[in-house]
Structure 1
Amino acid sequence: MLTQHDKPQVAQSEHPLSGRAVQFFCIVTFGLVVPVLIWLAARFTEVDARYVPNTAAGATIAALASWYILDRLRIYAKARQLSYVVPVNLLTFGSAFAAIGLMRAPYSTSLFFGCLLMTMATGYVLTALTRLGNKPQYLIAGGRVSEIPHRGNQIAVTSSAEIEALIDSGSIQGSLVGDLHHDHDDEWERLFAKAALRGIPVYHYRQILELETGQVRIDRLSENVLGSLIPNLPYMALKRTLDVLAVIVLSPLLILLMAIIAIVIKFDSRGSVLFIQDRMGFRGEVFRMVKFRTMRAREVDDDALAQREDAMTRSDDDRITRVGRFLRKVRLDELPQAWNILKGEMSWIGPRPEAISLSEWYEKEIPFYSYRHIVRPGLTGWAQVNQGHVTDLGDANAKLRYDFYYVKNISHWLDMLIALKTIRVVLSGIGAK
């Protein structure tokens, strides 16, 4: 029987196109070989042999990289593969195209973009067909199983005889999901063991709940589902290096963009261009976060309630300036935090740092709130791309569960998924206040 810390696959599929070997064959055949043959046939009399090897090599690397990235992203909650087929392919093919250009190697633009279009089309079809064949999940009644959001492939089960008949006949497809901490009767306990011995996955409800919601709950410290209070340390060290390199590489663009924004803010409203505020950061240490000013200043009393109210930004907040509303919508007001990243106070991706007054309030009211400070705060994060800006306790509690999911699953793949989601959020303006 699987333990609570085992990770089930997100998309168990019966579709014949779900196998990696089959998908690899389809990507190579329809995404690469077919467009190359069409291109050669269309230009048979004027083909320059120098163009084909470089273009084919670059397109092959890009196509296989995009397929592999999409395959890795699918294990995380809320990873809607279909919506990432295009951006991931544009990223990999764009990188390959830039590399070929920098090497000044001869290539064919038409062949390269033909491979890009065919790879995207193939990836989209494979992903769509794979999703159609998801195996069912049999939800065993009892305990907290009812908390799992219902999906089309989930079947509620109340009769142990029904499941036993499926197990004995060998016709059961999919997995069993139950609250393994619930006091089930002896018959259900026997069936869980029987299913596991037959090779049928048996999952604790919490695993499926996390995969469906992208949230992790900590009910009691003795049952800390994070397993360890220290996240992935090797990756955190690598992440710090990547953060600094990203700031250095992007600095010419960042400086130009921030200079333009600073001028616009100065002409739009009175006050400083920058807004500097103490925030709760890594390991609970206070740091001074810098961002572009998007609101008009106002006098605030010294009492805790007034400070807390002032730290809350609402969608109809009359303090927000005209330019500020746009900057907040597209998240450009956060760009100066590249300085905080260089200083090691922040990361590009992580839980958002809260104002001191809000953080202290949340810590008093929400159990384990301070645990989110075990990783560096970020410009964007799992909670931001899934929930947006929040202030009240109920929403803050939900946001905390998103932060816990990030801490538990922190990796370069999850960071890549967050980066892709951030692009979508920036373009749509969802969650801005």
Structure 2
Amino acid sequence: MSIQHLPLDQHRRHSRLHERVIFSRRVHLLLGLVVAVLLPGLWYWGWDFWLTVPLREWMTLVAAVAAYCLSIGSVQRLSQLPGTKAYVYIFPAVTLCYACALGVLELFHIDYSKPYILSSYVIAAVYCSIGYYVGARLRRLKLAVVPFGKATTLCHNHGVDWRILEAPRFDDLRVDGVVADLRADLPDDWERFLARCTIHRIPVYHATKAHEMLTGRVLLDHLYENKFGGLIPREDYEITKRGLDILAVLLLLPLMLPFMALVALAIRLDSKGPVFFTQPRMGFHCRQFIVYKFRSMYVDHEGTGYTQEGFDPRITRVGRIIRKYRIDELPQLFNVLKGDMSLIGPRPESISLTDSYEKDVPFFHYRHVVRPGISGWAQVEQGYAAEVDDMIRKLEYDFYYIKNFSFWLDVLIVIRTFKTLLTGFGSR
């Protein structure tokens, strides 16, 4: 059998495997609907429900179906982002979606069965959490690597089972995709191999793209491979994001203002000086703006141009607490209302640091193509950065955020921000 025909048969087996994976996901979704939605209905209403079809039961059933499908869809979208595990997010997703369904029913005064909704929620949360957890424990991402160019240097670790191919065929190997340096000079038989992978729906990833998917970073030495056009954020979501920012701040401020008043009082009692700290920062489209923060330092202490890590004598007692849990950033909600900032985006740097980093870090100003944020991808993944090497890594995270500018990435950052607030990760 020739080399041209051998891979084709193996590609077909992998194509069927890919179809089985998609089929299993659909079966999981349908089975979940049966277990979490239909079975509780039969328990409460019996088989005659399908004959009588009362409006109250129909509305309850529709709400449960919508909540379940939305929660599963949300988790599947989140699980495609770097460093995410579906079973970690399924319980909060199911809880939030069922809560939203109840909110809609209550808002429009729609009569519904509370015992059924509660039962459906409990079953969905338990069934999906166990299912996703068992699936994650039994299955590990397996990627084949074409041994040319940069592929072998970028493809390592990250919890992936890497398989370096010795010939343009799979033999008995089962993989979830193929990684190759598509800019390398590949032999003809390897190019035919990748073409057949694509034809038979086996994912083929460029090596740098695979690295981005797994690490959440865009390597600066590969930035030209994106031709800058790939880093332009989506304008449609930019408009939507601005509206969501305003709505979120207007909902948060009534809750936050009493708490902010208590923080302001604690600052005044702890040390002399103003409650707020203001500083010029580099913002959207390289326009300067004044950022607002709660003061966390003594007013009569001199220091460097950036905040020191570890013990810093310039920081007050209250300042250490509000810095650790990011409470000092709360006044930036007013920056969001003004349009200077967004809730989510790259953190704005001071003018002096911006000028300094721009001399050492290529493309630094490109991070200002989107509005800076109170929290961002680099903050939840890396934490605080002051040195040039740390700033380069932070910039790689910022570029990943810009390149993958989307609602779901923002949702993931919000979730991880809450984790940061609870743990104090990356405080300074």
TM-score (norm 1): 0.84
Between 255-264 and 371-380, the greater mean CA deviation after superposition: 255-264
Instruction: Tell me the secondary structure at the aligned position of residue 169 of structure 2.
Output: helix
Q: 1:23 to 1:225 in 2, by over 3 A?
A: farther
Q: Tell me, what secondary structure is at the counterpart of 1:219?
A: helix
8 A contact 2:144–2:175 mirrored in 1? no
Matches within 5 A, 1:50-199: 52-131=57-136, 132-134=138-140, 136-145=142-151, 146-151=153-158, 153-157=160-164, 159-160=166-167, 163-164=168-169, 166=171, 172-199=174-201
Aligned to 1:282: 284
C-alpha displacement of 1:337: 0.6
What is the aligned partner in structure 1 of residue 308 from structure 2? 313
How far does the alpha carbon of each residue in 1:187-213 deviate from its partner, in whole angstroms, 9 at most, with x for none? 544533454455433221111101110
Task: Provide closer, same or farther for how the CA distance between residues 239 and 365 of structure 1 changes in structure 2, counting only shifts above 3 A.
Answer: same
- 1:214 is aligned, of 208, 213, 216, to 216
1:355 paired with 2:350, answer: yes
Give the 3 Å change call, closer, same or farther, for CA 319–372 of structure 1 in structure 2.
same
Q: CA deviation at 1:147?
A: 2.2
Cα RMSD, aligned residues only = 2.8
Whether the 8 Å CA contact 1:280–1:355 is kept in 2: the answer is yes
Q: Secondary structure at the match of 1:311?
A: coil
**How many residues are aligned here?**
404
1:7-60 per-residue CA deviation (whole Å, 9 max, x = no partner) reads: xxxxx978768744213212211222233444568xxxxxxx897555444333
Amino acid at match of 1:81: A
User: Could you tell me which of 402, 409, 416 is aligned with 2:404?
Assistant: 409
SS in 2 for 1:379: strand
Helix, strand or coil at the partner of 1:176? strand
Greater CA drift, 351-360 or 136-145: 136-145
- In structure 2, what is the Cα distance between the partners aligned to 1:124 and 1:90? 12
Q: In structure 1, how many angstroms separate the alpha carbons of the residues matched to 2:352 and 2:150?
A: 35
The aligned residue for residue 361 of structure 2 is 366
Question: Does the Cα contact within 8 Å between 2:177 and 2:204 map onto a contact in 1?
Answer: yes
- Map of 2:247 onto structure 1: 245
SS in 1 for 2:298: coil
Counterpart for residue 204 of structure 1: 206
Q: Distance in 2 between matches of 1:293 and 1:53?
A: 55
- Whether the 8 Å contact between 1:14 and 1:135 is mirrored in structure 2 is no
Structure 2 unaligned segments of length 5 or more: list them: 1-16, 47-53
What is the CA-CA distance between 1:74 and the residue it aligns to?
Answer: 2.1
The structural deviation recorded for 1:229 is: 5.1
Confirm or deny: 8 A CA contact 1:17 1:130 kept in the other structure: no
CA distance in 2, matches of 1:180, 1:213: 19
Say whether residues 1:420 and 2:415 are aligned partners. Answer: yes
CA–CA distance in 1 between the matches of 2:22 and 2:186? 38
TM-score (normalised: structure 2): 0.85
My pick for the range that moved more, 210-219 or 220-229, is 220-229
Displaced runs of 4+ in structure 1, greater than 6 A? 12-15
**1:15, 1:391 → 2: CA distance?**
48
Kindly state the Cα deviation for residue 230 of structure 1 after the two structures are TM-superposed.
2.8
Q: Is the 8 A contact 2:380 2:417 kept in 1?
A: yes
Residue 385 of structure 2 aligns with which residue? 390
- Could you list the per-position Cα deviations for residues 97-148 of structure 1 after superposition, in whole angstroms to 9, with x for gaps in the alignment? 3333334444454433322221112222332344334552112234322223
CA distance in 2, matches of 1:118, 1:355: 50
Q: Give me the identity figure in percent.
A: 36
Tell me what 1:30 maps to.
35
Deviates more, 1:50-59 or 1:290-299: 50-59
Question: Judging changes above 3 Å, is the alpha-carbon distance between structure 1 residues 391 and 56 closer, same or farther for their aligned structure 2 residues?
Answer: same
Deviations 1:204-260 (A, max 9, x none): 111110111001123366433553453101110111111112222222112222112
- Supply the distance in 2 between the matched residues of 1:172 and 1:115 (Cα, whole angstroms): 37
Opposite residue 77 of structure 1, the aligned amino acid is P
Give the whole-Å Cα distance in 2 for the aligned partners of 1:292 and 1:15: 55
DSSP 3-state at the match of 2:248? helix
SS of 2:239's partner is: helix
User: How far did 1:69 drift?
Assistant: 0.9
SS at match of 1:388: coil
Corresponding position of 1:6: none
Amino acid of the structure 2 residue aligned with 1:202: V
Bigger mean CA deviation after superposition, 224-233 or 84-93: 224-233
Identify the structure with bigger relative contact order (alpha carbons < 8 Å, sequence gap 6+). 1
Deviation of the 1:417 alpha carbon:
1.3
SS at match of 2:75: helix
Cα distance in structure 2, aligned partners of 1:339 and 1:127? 40
For structure 1, which runs of at least 5 residues remain unmatched after alignment? 1-11, 42-48, 301-305
Give the AA of the match of 2:344: I
The CA distance in 2 between the partners of 1:255 and 1:88, in whole Å, is 28
Give the letter aligned to residue 162 of structure 2.
I
